[in-house]
Structure 1
Amino acid sequence: MTEVRRATTADAEVLGRLLWDFNTEFETETDDADVLVVRFARILELDEIVAVLAEDDSGAVGFALLSLRPAIWFDGPVAQLEELYVVPSLRAQGIGTQVLDLSRSLVRGLGSPEMHIGVDEVDVDTRRFYERHGFVTIEEGVDYRMLLYVGPTG
């Protein structure tokens, strides 16, 4: 049975390892797991960071990382889902849904009425997952997609 809970700084090591697994699975450039562990330990101290951890009898099987930022267009912060990962052998078993549901509940409890997620266009399975949970790329009343741009700060 999978249990999903809010992660704490004590979970930094397992979260760093899971993020490294996630990045290497998709051949994304990443720092070593030890570096990620240190970063998790630092950011999990911040009020505007929320992490969720899924565990079963074998150990950690998934996680989510969210950040909250102030918003001008409504009261409460905007939640950004930075990462959501489930180990490959356990996908399509509802763990991702459990992680997303708890993530949404936690940020809603922190006053966030809206969550943003960046997904690669070619990642059809992930897009379907979020769309199944009510996320859209076209807001009601418009006929164009929202895009997320990424670029350097300098």
Structure 2
Amino acid sequence: MTAEFTLHKAAADNAQEVAVMVGELLTEIMNAIGTQAFNFDLAATTSRLKDFLNRDKYDVFVARGRHGDAVGFITLYESYALYAEGAFGTIAELYVRPDFRAEGLGLRLVSQARSFGASRGWTRLEVTTPPLPQFDRTLAFYEREGFAVSGGRKLKVSL
């Protein structure tokens, strides 16, 4: 039997429950790669997310299970680039708690992001996955949903 889920746009008062899931996501990634790649602090992440939401810098959609518990989320932000022919969206985080995977919830969250982006006039939606074997299933998921590799690797430098 497929579980029932509802999706809603998060507000600042949802920040802590989303931040908890961000911690779960980052822990899962670090366990998969065997490296302490992220510094996670629940209070700081909650505060940052509240600020992002209050300033309309971030859009978050939360998935809830039958009993109203948060079981997944997707975060988006708007960017601008000449190569993208204007405004576009980036999926910063997508997470579904393990007990709720393989029930189509990731697809529903991505579909929500696509609809939201279309309503904002975005030309495209981008996402980055690590080019590591540990994330082959993640890459395959996005490719099934119509995402195509656009080249390059995501690089960073701390400021």
5+ unaligned residues in a row in structure 1: which ranges? 139-145
Give the Cα separation in 2 of the matches to 1:73 and 1:48: 22
Contact 1:24 1:30 in 2 (8 A): no
5+ unaligned residues in a row in structure 2: which ranges? 31-36
Equivalent residues, number: 147
- Equivalent positions of 1:32-51 (< 5 A) are 32-51=41-60
Aligned equivalent of 1:128: 140
2:17 alignment partner, one of 14, 39, 52: 14
Give the Cα separation in 2 of the matches to 1:96 and 1:102: 10
Aligned equivalent of 2:154: 149
Give the Cα separation in 1 of the matches to 2:158 and 2:38: 19
Aligned equivalent of 1:142: none
Give the Cα separation in 2 of the matches to 1:75 and 1:131: 22
Deviation larger for 25-34 or 87-96: 25-34
Give the Cα separation in 2 of the matches to 1:74 and 1:124: 26
Could you tell me how far 1:147 is from its partner in structure 2?
1.4
Contact 1:51 1:64 in 2 (8 A): yes
Moved over 6 A (4+): none
The two structures have a TM-score, normalised by structure 1, of 0.87
1:23 alignment partner, one of 16, 23, 26: 26
How much identity, in percent, do the aligned residues show?
A: 24
Task: Tell me whether 1:68 sits opposite 2:78 in the alignment.
Answer: yes
1:119 alignment partner, one of 110, 124, 129: 129
Aligned equivalent of 1:87: 97
Q: Which has the higher helix share?
A: 2
1:44 counterpart SS class: helix
